[in-house]
Amino acid sequence: MSTVAEPLDSMPMGKRELIVLLALLMSLNALSIDAMLPALDDMARELGATDGNRRQLVVAIYSITMGMGCLIPGSYADRYGRRPILLFSLACYAGFSLLVAVLHQFNLVLVARALGGLLSAGLMVAPMAIVRDLYEGDKMARLMSVVAAVFITVPVIAPSFGQAVLLVAGWRWIFVALAAVGGLAACWVYFRLPETLRDEHRQEIILPVIARNMKDALLNRQSIGYVLGTLLVMGGVFAYVNIAQQLYSEHFGVSEAAFPIVFGSTAAMMAFANITNSRIVMRFGARRVSHTGVLVFIVVSALQVWASYYHPGDISWFVPLTAINLGLLGFLGANFGSIAMQPFAHIAGAASSVQSFFRMFGAAMVGLLIGQLYDGTARPFAWALLICSTLALCFVLYSEEGRLFRRLNVKPPKERIVP
């Protein structure tokens, strides 16, 4: 038995199918980033981008514009529903992936990547709104953890997927494959996903209404600290993705064939942590779990800084510490997100938009900044993790009025029980 709200209609979807579909939708943007990591050298050579740090822009520009685009779809999703936004985003995702596959100039590839990220942002916004339509409180955190456990496996397998394509074809076929996955997801949404937006929650497409809803979602003290906290810790992850290929190959001397395995082994901890979080969050509460997680994150980041000075170039220190940092995100991301969305059942789309914008755009900008500071060592990355996690704790303390580890009892709305 599962507890869901009223909007499910004549297209029933089971909970497991819903989880897998939402995980796929939310993972498509990550797939578009991580699958190309093994191909960055080939792309740079063919397109004439010889500067090592400049080639990071193929990854970073997509993340930045995706974050910017998150401001747009939420209000439309609150008016017209979640399904139209998803279908439009999937069409753009597939179309611009195919466009990148046929371009031959680096700057044009960057433009196509930028537009693809901008117009595919609904894939980040609409799934969060769907979850908020159906669940709340610790139940929402639990579902988000299960969804995250599925879609986090994408960074684990995506580089290997890209490497496999490179074994039989050129880098352009990676983008053809991405377009095919986007098309399959669009068919799944069209034929199986019901509309979850309640009629009484539909909002007008009027600028003052949109501005008011986004202002309410942004300035709410209970949520803003968690949004900014997520921005900062995710910024470290974006930085890791941006510099991973350079860091492992240049600093640690990892071979091209071994890179997907090493990268995937660190990202695998995120999936394990999200599964664990989904099992413990109902018992301990999203706040207690995530507050403990951010404190431990700070400690591990401090060890990362120490290792970067006293064991430079020693991958046996870097990989385990990085894996632990990424694993701790499994106790932060879903819980921070569910806490931040809790006050906004009536404007879930607008809240998801503005929060996703700050999380994704802010994290992408932080990741780009850290990536451009890469100096051939792990020190900038290590310091960034420590600074970002410490500031994240400060923002959480602001939202919690200086008190950690509280568990708030939320009175649920009227719900019906369905199998």
Residue 254 in this model has a pLDDT that exceeds 50: yes
Domain range for 348: 14-408
Give the per-residue pLDDT at 132: 75
pLDDT digits (tens, 9 = 90+) for 177-228: 999 999 999 999 999 888 888 777 777 667 777 777 777 777 788 888 998 9
The residues near 211 (Cβ < 8 Å, ≥ 6 apart) are none
Q: Considering the domain boundaries, does residue 76 fall inside one?
A: yes
Angle at 92 between CA 89 and CA 94, to 5 degrees: 110
Report if residue 129 sits inside a domain. yes
Q: In the chain, how many domains are there?
A: 1
Average pLDDT for 14-39: 82
Residue 266 lies in a domain: yes
CA–CA–CA angle 231, 65, 25 (5° rounding) = 75
When pLDDT is cut at 50, 70 and 90, the band that residue 362 belongs to is confident
CB count in 10 Å sphere of residue 184 = 13
Residues 8 and 11: their CA atoms lie apart, in Å, by 7
Strand ranges (E), 77-236:
none
Burial of 283 (0-12, 13-18, 19+ CB in 10 A): exposed
Distance from C-alpha of 79 to C-alpha of 202, rounded to nearest angstrom: 5
In a domain, 417, yes or no: no
Q: Which residue has the tokens 């099992």?
A: 279
pTM for the model = 0.69
CA–CA dist 304, 229 (Å, integer) = 20
3-state secondary structure of 230: helix
Asked if residue 3 belongs to a domain, the reply is no
In a domain, 5, yes or no: no
CATH number for the domain spanning 333: value is: 1.20.1250.20
Q: What end-to-end distance do the CA atoms of the chain give, in Å?
A: 5
Residue 181's pLDDT is what? 93
- Give the pLDDT confidence of 227-245 residue by residue, as tens digits: 899 889 888 877 887 788 7
- pLDDT(418) > 50: no
Please indicate, yes or no, if residue 239 is contained in any of the structural domains. Answer: yes
HSE-CB of 215 using CA atoms within 13 angstroms:
6
- Asked, for residue 1, whether it belongs to a domain, the answer is no
